[in-house]
Chain A
Amino acid sequence: MKPAPFEYHAPTTLDAAVQLLAGLGDEAKVLAGGQSLVPMLNLRLTRFEALVDIGRVEELRRIERTNGTVNLGATVAQCVVERDATVAAGVPLLAKATPLIGHFQIRSRGTVGGSIAHADPAAEYPAVALALDAELEVAGPAGRRTIPAADFFLGTWMTTIGADEILVATRFPVWGAGSGFAVEEVARRHGDFAIAGAAVAVTVTDGQVARAAIGLFGMGHTPLRASAAESALTGAAASGVDAAEIGRLAVEGLEPPDDLHASSGLRLRVGAATVSRALQRAIEEADRA
Chain B
Amino acid sequence: MTMTTPGTAARYIGQSVRRKEDRRLLTGHGLYVDDVSLPGMLHAAFLRSEVAKATITKLDVTAARALPGVVAVFTWEDFNGRFGEAWHSMLGEELIVPPPLAIGDVRHVGDPIALVVAESRYLAEDALDLIELDLDVVTPAVDYATAAADTEHLVHAGWGLPSNAMVDVPFMPLSGDLDEAFAAAAHVIECTIRQNRYVPVPMEARGIVASWTSGRDEMEIVAATQSVHEARNFFARYLGIPEGNITVSARDVGGGFGQKMFVFREECAVVLASRLLERPVKWIEDRRENLMAAGHSRNELGKVRLAIDDDHVIQAIAIDHVADVGAYPICPAVADLQLLPGPYKIPRLGFSMSMVWTNTMGKAAYRGPWMFETTAREMAIDHAARTLGIDPVELRRKNLLSSPDLPFTSPAGNVFQEITPLETLDQALEMLDYEAFRAEQAAARAEGRLLGLGICVYVEPTSMNVPSLGTEGATVRIESSGKVVAYLGTTSHGQSIETTMAQIVADQLGVSYDDVTVVQGETQSTPYGPGTGGSRTAVVAGGAAREAALVVRDKVLAVAAHSLEASPADLEIEHGNVFVKGTPTKSLTMRDVAKAAYTHAQDLPADIGTGLEATVRFRPTQFPTWSNATHLCVVEIDRDTCIPRILRYIVSEDCGRMINPGVVEGQIFGGVVQGIGGVLLEDFVYDADGNPLTTTFVDYLLPTTTEVPMIEIGHIETDSTTNPGGYKGMGEGGAIGAHAAVANAVGDALAHLGINANSTPLGPNDIHRLLVEAGAD
* Chain A residues near B (Cβ < 8 Å): 1-5, 39, 43-44, 186, 188-193, 195, 260-263, 265-266, 269-270, 272-273
Contact = CB atoms under 8 A, between A and B. Distances in A.
A213 to B, nearest CB: 22
Q: Which of B640, B681, B769, B772 has the most CB of A within 10 A?
A: B640
B553 to A, nearest CB: 51
18 contacts: A1-B125, A5-B122, A43-B288, A186-B643, A188-B681, A188-B764, A190-B707, A191-B706, A193-B698, A195-B641, A195-B764, A260-B693, A266-B768, A269-B642, A269-B777, A270-B642, A272-B640, A273-B641
A189 B641 contact: no
A67 B489 CA distance: 73
B121 interface: yes
A266 B764 contact: yes
A147 to B, nearest CB: 29
A270 B763 CA distance: 14
A192 B765 contact: no
A1 B640 contact: no
A158 to B, nearest CB: 20
Contacts of B405: none
Interface string B741-774: 0000000000000000000000111001100100
A270 B639 CA distance: 10
Contact of B126 (A4, A39, A191, A269): A4
B286 to A, nearest CB: 4
Contact of A188 (B643, B694, B696): B643
Nearest to A272: B640
B696 A2 contact: no
Interface residues of B, number: 32
B641 A43 contact: no
B122 A188 contact: no
Closest 10 CB pairs of A and B: A273-B640, A190-B706, A2-B122, A266-B768, A1-B286, A186-B641, A270-B641, A2-B125, A262-B765, A189-B704
Contact of A1 (B126, B288, B772): B288
Contact of B121 (A2, A43, A44, A270): A2
A193 B696 CA distance: 14
A273 B643 CA distance: 12
Contacts of A272: 640
Contacts of B763: 188, 261
A190 B704 CA distance: 8
A44 B764 contact: no
A263 B769 contact: yes
Contacts, number: 74
A43 B683 CA distance: 21
Contacts of B642: 266, 269-270
Given A5-B126, A43-B696, A269 B706 contact: no
A90 B640 CA distance: 32
Contacts of B685: 260
A265 B122 contact: no
Interface string B682-701: 01010000000110101101
A251 to B, nearest CB: 12
Contacts of A190: 704, 706-707
A254 to B, nearest CB: 16
B129 interface: yes
Nearest to B704: A189
Interface string B579-619: 00000000000000000000000000000000000000000
A217 to B, nearest CB: 15
B287 interface: yes
A188 B701 contact: yes
A38 to B, nearest CB: 13
Contacts of A188: 643, 681, 701, 763-764
B283 to A, nearest CB: 14
A274 to B, nearest CB: 8
B353 to A, nearest CB: 31
A188 B642 CA distance: 10
Interface string B628-649: 0000000000001111000000
Interface in B100-151: 121-122, 125-126, 129
Q: Which of A2, A186, A270 has the most CB of B within 10 A?
A: A2
Given A1-B287, A188-B763, A44 B125 contact: yes
A190 B765 CA distance: 17
A269 B121 contact: no
Contacts of B681: 188-189
Contacts of B286: 1
A55 B122 CA distance: 25
A262 B764 CA distance: 7
Q: Which of B641, B701, B704 has the most CB of A within 10 A?
A: B641
Contacts of B764: 188, 195, 261-262, 266, 270
A157 to B, nearest CB: 14
A192 B703 CA distance: 12
Contacts of B125: 1-2, 4, 44
Contacts of B694: 260
A108 to B, nearest CB: 18
Contact of B701 (A192, A269, A273): A192
B52 to A, nearest CB: 18
B298 to A, nearest CB: 18
Interface in B318-358: none
A189 B772 contact: no
Given A1-B288, A2-B121, 11 more contacts: A2-B122, A186-B641, A190-B704, A260-B685, A260-B699, A260-B765, A262-B768, A265-B768, A266-B764, A269-B642, A272-B640
B63 to A, nearest CB: 15
A247 to B, nearest CB: 9
Given A43-B696, A260-B685, A265 B701 contact: no
